[in-house]
C-alpha cells in the first residue's frame, strides 16, 4: 500500500451515506490503516514524515471509532493512550 492510499479508503468511509455499506467501508479503512502501520514498522528508521503519518493514522482510527459509535450505534469505548492510561 502506498504511503497515503489508506487516506482515500478512510475518506470513502467518512463519506459513505448508505447505512448498509457503512460497516464494510469502516472495516476496509481500518484494515488499510493497519496494513500501512505494519509497513512503516518494518522500516529500520522512522523519519519525521513517517511519525506524522502515524499521528494522522491514529486520528483517522479515532474518527472511525466515532463513526462506529455515532452512526453504526456500537457501544462507546474508552480509548487509552500509549502508556496504558485512560484518555
Residue 87, pLDDT score: 45
pLDDT at 68 over 90: yes
| Unique residue bearing C-alpha cell 486520528 | 59
Residue 3, pLDDT score: 63
42: phi then psi, degrees, rounded to nearest 5: -80, -10
Confidence grade of residue 79 (pLDDT, cut at 50, 70, 90): low
pLDDT in tens, 1-50: 556 799 999 999 999 999 899 999 999 999 999 999 999 988 877 789 99
81: phi then psi, degrees, rounded to nearest 5: -80, -175
Whole-angstrom Cα distance, residue 7 to residue 33?
8
pLDDT in tens, 40-56: 988 877 789 999 999 99
Whole-angstrom Cα distance, residue 29 to residue 56?
13
| Unique residue bearing C-alpha cell 509497513 | 39
The domains of the chain are located at 5-70
**Cβ-based neighbours of 83, under 8 Å, separated by 6 or more:** none
Spatial CA neighbour of 32 closest among 4, 55, 54, 56: 4
Amino acid at each position: 500500500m502506498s504511503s497515503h492510499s489508506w487516506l482515500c479508503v478512510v475518506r470513502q468511509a467518512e463519506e459513505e451515506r448508505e447505512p448498509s455499506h457503512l460497516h464494510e467501508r469502516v472495516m476496509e479503512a481500518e484494515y488499510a490503516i493497519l496494513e500501512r502501520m505494519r509497513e512503516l514498522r518494518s522500516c529500520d528508521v522512522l523519519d519525521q514524515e513517517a511519525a506524522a503519518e502515524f499521528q494522522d493514522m491514529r486520528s483517522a482510527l479515532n474518527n472511525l471509532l466515532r463513526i462506529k459509535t455515532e452512526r453504526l450505534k456500537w457501544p462507546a469505548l474508552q480509548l487509552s493512550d500509549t502508556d496504558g492510561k485512560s484518555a
